[in-house]
Structure 1
Amino acid sequence: MSPLLWPMLAGGLVGLGLYLFVRAWMRPRPGVATVVARIDAGSRSMQTHTLSEFDTSFAEMSARGRSVMTALADRLEVVAARRGWEMRRHRADLTILNRSVGAMLATKIASGLIMLLAAPLVWGALRLGGLEVGPSVPLALGLLLALGGFFLPDLSLRSEADKRRREFRRTVGIFLDLVAMNLAGGRGLPEALLAASSVSDHWSVVRIRQTLANARLFGTTPWEALGRLGKDIGLEELESLSGALLLAADDGAKIRASLTARATTMRRKELSEAEGDEGERSQSMLVAQMLLVVSFLVYLAYPALMALMSEQAM
C-alpha cells in the first residue's frame, strides 16, 4: 500500500467536508416550488406548530455561537426545503420541542465536526503517552467519531421529546378537569376550552392556548385543531380527545362526565407508569448494592487467597 494513500484520502475527505460546508453556508436561490412549499408550511405552522418560550435549540451557547448556529440553521432550512428533506421520522419530536429541521441539521453537523476534531487530539495524547500509533489510526478514529457525533443528536432528540410528551400528558389530564369544571359552570364547549387553557403560563398550556386561538382565527373547530396538534406532536391522548369533543359537538353527548372519566384514566395510567419506573430504579439500586458487596468481599478475601496459593506453591 502506498504511503501517500492515507494522506490523499484524508485530504479528499477534508476538502469534501469544506465544500459541503460552504455550499450549506451560501444562500441558495430558492425556486418557485420551494417558495410555495415554504408558504404552505408557514400556513400549517400558524395552526398547530405554535411557538413558545421553550425553543431552546441553541440556548446554552454564547451570543456569537448562537448567531452562527442560527445562520447555519437558516441556510440548512432552505437547503432541506429545496431537497425535500422532511425528516418524517423526527417530525413529531421536532414539533413538540419547537425545533426546525434546519436547527436539527445544524446540530448534527456541529456535533460531527466536534467529534471529528477530537480524533487528532486523542492521537496526540496517545503519542505523548509513549504509545506508537500509526498515522492511519486518527483517520479511521475520526471517521468513526464523526459518524457517532452526527447521529448522537438523534438520541438526545428522542429523549427530550419523550420527556416533553410525559409532561404534556400530565397537562392534558389537568386540562380535562378544568374543562369539565367550566362546563359545570354553564359555559359552552369552545368557551370552556379557551378558559381552561388560560389559567397557566406553562409551556404546554401555552401551546394549547395558542392552538385554540389560531383555530378561532382560521375558522376551524377547536377539537379539530387539538386533534391536529396531537397528531403533529405524537400525543394520542389529544387525538382521542378530539374525537370525543367531536361527538359532543355533533350528538350532544354527556361530555362533562366523559372528560372527567378520561382525566381519571390518564392519572391512573400515569401513576402506574411512575410506579413501574420506581420499581426499575429500585432494581437498579439493588444490583449496584450487590456489586458493591461482592467487590468488598473479593477485596477482603484476596490477601488470604494469595497467601494460601503462595504456601501451596512452596
Structure 2
Amino acid sequence: MLIQVLIGAFTGFGLYIVVRALVPARPGAAAKVARIDALRARGQYGVPAAQPHSLRERLGWSIADFYARRGWEQHSVRADLRLLERHWQQFLVTKVGLAAVGFLIGPLLFGVTWLWGFHLTPLVPVWLALGFAGLFFILPDLEVRRDATAKREDFRRVVAAYLDLVSMNLAGGRGLPEALMSAAEVSDGWALRRLRDCLTDARLAGVPQWTALGDLGTELGVKELTDLGAALNLVADDGAKVRASLSSRAETMRRREIAEMEGKAGARSQSMLVAQMLLSAGFLVFILYPATVRIFQLS
C-alpha cells in the first residue's frame, strides 16, 4: 500500500510540475525586457537582423522565446555561456535534443531486456524514459559549468597579471585610460582580447573604461573584475591611489590563487594516500587469504 501511495504522490507531483511549466506565468519586468531584446535581435521591432534559416536556428529561437515568456532567465548559465562564447539558443537546442534522445533510450533498453527474457512491468519503460530524459537534459549544464569554471580561473590569473601591467604603465607616467589599453595590447590571448575589445567599445561609446570593465565582470561572472571597476570609479582621478589599489588587488589575487592551488594539491595528496592505502590493504588480503584458509582447513 505504501508503494502505491508513493508512486501516486510522485506522479501527481510530476504532473503538477509539467502543468506549472506549460501554463504561461505572469512575466515580470525583467522577463518582458528579455523578450523585447530577443525580438529586437530577430528583427521584429523594426531593427533589421539576420533571420534564422535552418531548422536548428528556428527551434533555438522558439525555445528561447518559450523561456522568456515564463521568466526563466538563468543568469549564471548565461554568464557561463558568454564566457565560453557560446550562443544561448544553440545551448537550449542541445538540451532539448539530448532530452529527446534520452527519452528514446529508456524504451530501447526496456526492449533489449525484454528480448533477453527479463519481463518487467509496463511502467518501467515510462520511468526509464523520464529518467534518461531528465539526466540528458541537465548534462549540457554540467558541461558548461565545468568548462566555465576552468576558463574563469584562467581569466582571473590573467586579470592579476593585467593589473600589474596597468600599475607599471601608470608608474611610467601614462594616464589611466592609456594604461588600461596599453596593458591589454601586450598579448593576443583570449582573456586580454576580451579586455581589449571591452575597452575599445567603451571608448567608441563614450563610456568610462573602468565602468565597462565592471560591466564585463558582471556579464562574465568574474567578481574580481566587477570590484575593480567599482574601485577605479572611486579613485580614477588620483594616480597614486590607482597604482596602490591595483598593486594591492593584484597581490591579493595572487595570494588567493596560491592558496587555492595549495588546497587542490592537498586534496589530491589525500586522494592519492587513500588510493595507496586501499591498494596496500588489497595486497595484504591477497597475501594473507591463502594462509588463513589453510590454517582453518587444518584446524
Q: TM-score range by the shorter chain?
A: 0.7 to 0.9
- Of 89, 92, 104, 2:91 maps to 104
How far 1:149 sits from its partner (Å)? 1.3
Cα 1:236–1:108, aligned 2, differ >3 Å: closer, same or farther?
A: same
% identical equivalent positions? 48
Task: Spell out the pairing of 1:290-305 with structure 2 (5 A cutoff).
Answer: 290-305=277-292
Contact 1:247-1:253 within 8 A present in 2 as well:
no
Gaps of 5+ in 2: 1-14, 23-31, 43-53
Q: Match of 1:211?
A: 198
Task: Spell out the pairing of 1:10-29 with structure 2 (5 A cutoff).
Answer: none
User: Within the alignment, does 1:37 sit opposite 2:37 as a pair?
Assistant: yes
Contact 2:35-2:69 within 8 A present in 1 as well:
no
Structure-2 separation of matches of 1:203 and 1:33: 30
Contact 1:197-1:205 within 8 A present in 2 as well:
yes
Q: Match of 1:168?
A: 155
- Of 202, 209, 213, 1:222 maps to 209
Q: Match of 1:186?
A: 173
Q: CA offsets, 1:98-135, max 9 Å, x none?
A: 23332222121122122222223323443444433344
How far 1:68 sits from its partner (Å)? 5.7
Q: Match of 1:147?
A: 134
Deviates more, 1:198-207 or 1:220-229: 198-207
Q: Match of 1:6?
A: none
RMSD across aligned positions (CA): 2.9
Cα 1:212–1:287, aligned 2, differ >3 Å: closer, same or farther?
A: same
Higher relative contact order (CA 8 A, sep 6+): 1
Contact 1:112-1:146 within 8 A present in 2 as well:
yes
Q: Match of 1:29?
A: none
User: Within the alignment, does 1:248 sit opposite 2:235 as a pair?
Assistant: yes
TM-score where L is the length of structure 1: 0.73
Structure-2 separation of matches of 1:244 and 1:148: 43
How far 1:161 sits from its partner (Å)? 1.6
- Of 131, 136, 159, 2:123 maps to 136
TM-score where L is the length of structure 2: 0.76
Cα 1:173–1:41, aligned 2, differ >3 Å: closer, same or farther?
A: farther
Letter paired with 1:119: G
**What is the aligned residue count?**
261
Cα 1:305–1:132, aligned 2, differ >3 Å: closer, same or farther?
A: farther
Structure-1 separation of matches of 2:35 and 2:259: 48
Structure-1 separation of matches of 2:60 and 2:188: 28
Q: CA offsets, 1:187-207, max 9 Å, x none?
A: 211011111111212111111
Letter paired with 1:226: L
Deviates more, 1:271-280 or 1:233-242: 233-242
Contact 1:80-1:101 within 8 A present in 2 as well:
no
Deviates more, 1:78-87 or 1:136-145: 78-87
